[in-house]
Chains A and B, each alone.
Chain A
Amino acid sequence: RKEVEQDPGPFNVPEGATVAFNCTYSNSASQSFFWYRQDCRKEPKLLMSVYSSGNEDGRFTAQLNRASQYISLLIRDSKLSDSATYLCGKVGSNYQLIWGAGTKLIIKP
């Protein structure tokens, strides 16, 4: 089993809708989690860090559920420009950063 797992999607969502997706992880000792956004053929860029129970930044909310070992990303009032792949990452047992395969999101007009 991979240490970080994500539903690859794609999630096809109408503009203006709310969308949420999860990322499950193993190794409960992990303390630091991240959501990154990656546009096609570009490098990943930090969207949000998740250190405790959650974090909110405008239309984006990330939550951490340690009991069930997952983090979630909620996007409200989705925009066409939100179309991207969303990568979930965590700090591994040896302090290396480990990533899921990414969830592809397509916002349709």
Chain B
Amino acid sequence: DTGVSQNPRHKITKRGQNVTFRCDPISEHNRLYWYRQTLGQGPEFLTYFQNEAQLEKSRLLSDRFSAERPKGSFSTLEIQRTEQGDSAMYLCASSLTPGQTAEAFFGQGTRLTVV
């Protein structure tokens, strides 16, 4: 499978615990995005990387959230001290550098439930 891969697909955690998600993008894609999606809403931008550089972080991304892409390939998103409001689908997408062919390809997402 050469698409975007995310794991785990589902995560249930207790409030206050830390969680980490992984995203493996399409291999030749240098852009990697993290989004959060709640029911009835479109994907909300969290952060993105160009290769290993994190170029932008949304104001939505509190200090409890951190993302890395150490070698410019896979990325991890960590949420510390989870809160019930963090419950959502976390989507990863990858693309080539935006231009005429900037289509993003999404992974199947990690559904987080904080209890």
Mark contacts of A88-101 with chain B using CB atoms, 8 A cut-off: 1 yes-contact digit, 0 otherwise: 01011011111111
Size bracket of the A interface: 20 to 34
What residues of A have a CB within 8 angstroms of the CB of B45 in the complex? 92, 96-99
B105 an interface residue at 8 Å Cβ cutoff?
A: yes
Q: Separation in Å of the B59 CB from the closest CB of chain A?
A: 13
- In the assembled complex, the Cα of A64 lies from the Cα of B88 at a distance in Å of 32
What residues of B have a CB within 8 angstroms of the CB of A100 in the complex? 42
Size bracket of the B interface: 20 to 34
A34 an interface residue at 8 Å Cβ cutoff?
A: yes
Q: Separation in Å of the B48 CB from the closest CB of chain A?
A: 5
Q: Separation in Å of the B77 CB from the closest CB of chain A?
A: 15
> Measuring CB to CB, which residues of chain B are less than 8 angstroms from any residue of chain A?
33, 35, 40-45, 48, 55-56, 91, 93, 95, 97-109
